[in-house]
C-alpha cells in the first residue's frame, strides 16, 4: 500500500493537494509535523511526576511517549498544545505556558 508521503511531502504546493486534503490511507499522522500549530506548550516537571500515566491515554495526538512503563517528555513534533494532559494530571507535573517562537 502506498504511503501518503509517497504522494505528498513538505515541498508539495497547496495547489497540488487533493480536494479537501482527503487522506486515503491510514496511519499518516506520524508522517507530518503538526506541532507548530500550537500556541500553548506543555512543560513537564519530572520531579512532580508520579508515573501514574493518566496523561497518556487522554492525549489526542499520542504525544506522550512511554518507554519501559515510564512516561517521557513530550513529542513536540505532534503536540498541538490542547492542555488536556495538564487538566488530568493530579500531581501538577504538567503546566501549560505560551509558546515563544
Same domain, 60 and 91: yes
Does residue 88 carry a pLDDT above 90?
yes
Which are the contacts of 26, defined by CB distance < 8 A and separation ≥ 6?
A: none
User: Which triple of cell numbers denotes residue 64?
Assistant: 506522550
Q: Which residue has the cell 506522550?
A: 64
Same domain, 37 and 14: no
Is the torsion defined by CA of 28, 30, 31, 37 positive or negative?
positive
Residue span of the structural domain in which 73 resides: 33-101
Same domain, 19 and 46: no
* CA–CA gap between residue 55 and residue 76 (Å, rounded): 15
**Confidence (pLDDT) at 2:** 47
**Confidence (pLDDT) at 27:** 60
**Confidence (pLDDT) at 18:** 65
Same domain, 45 and 69: yes
User: Which triple of cell numbers denotes residue 99?
Assistant: 509558546
Same domain, 52 and 99: yes
Same domain, 69 and 99: yes
Of residues 17 and 100, which shows the higher confidence score? 100
pLDDT (average), residues 37-46: 93
Mean pLDDT of the chain: 84
Amino acid at each position: 500500500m502506498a504511503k501518503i508521503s509517497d504522494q505528498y511531502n513538505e515541498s508539495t504546493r497547496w495547489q497540488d493537494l487533493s480536494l479537501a486534503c482527503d487522506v486515503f490511507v491510514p496511519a499518516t499522522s506520524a508522517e507530518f509535523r503538526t506541532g507548530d500549530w500550537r500556541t500553548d506548550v506543555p512543560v513537564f516537571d519530572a520531579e512532580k511526576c508520579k508515573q501514574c500515566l493518566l496523561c497518556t491515554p487522554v492525549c489526542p495526538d499520542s504525544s506522550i511517549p512511554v518507554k519501559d512503563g515510564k512516561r517521557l517528555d513530550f513529542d513536540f513534533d505532534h503536540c498541538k498544545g490542547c492542555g488536556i494532559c495538564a487538566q488530568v494530571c493530579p500531581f501538577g507535573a504538567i503546566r501549560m505556558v505560551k509558546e515563544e517562537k
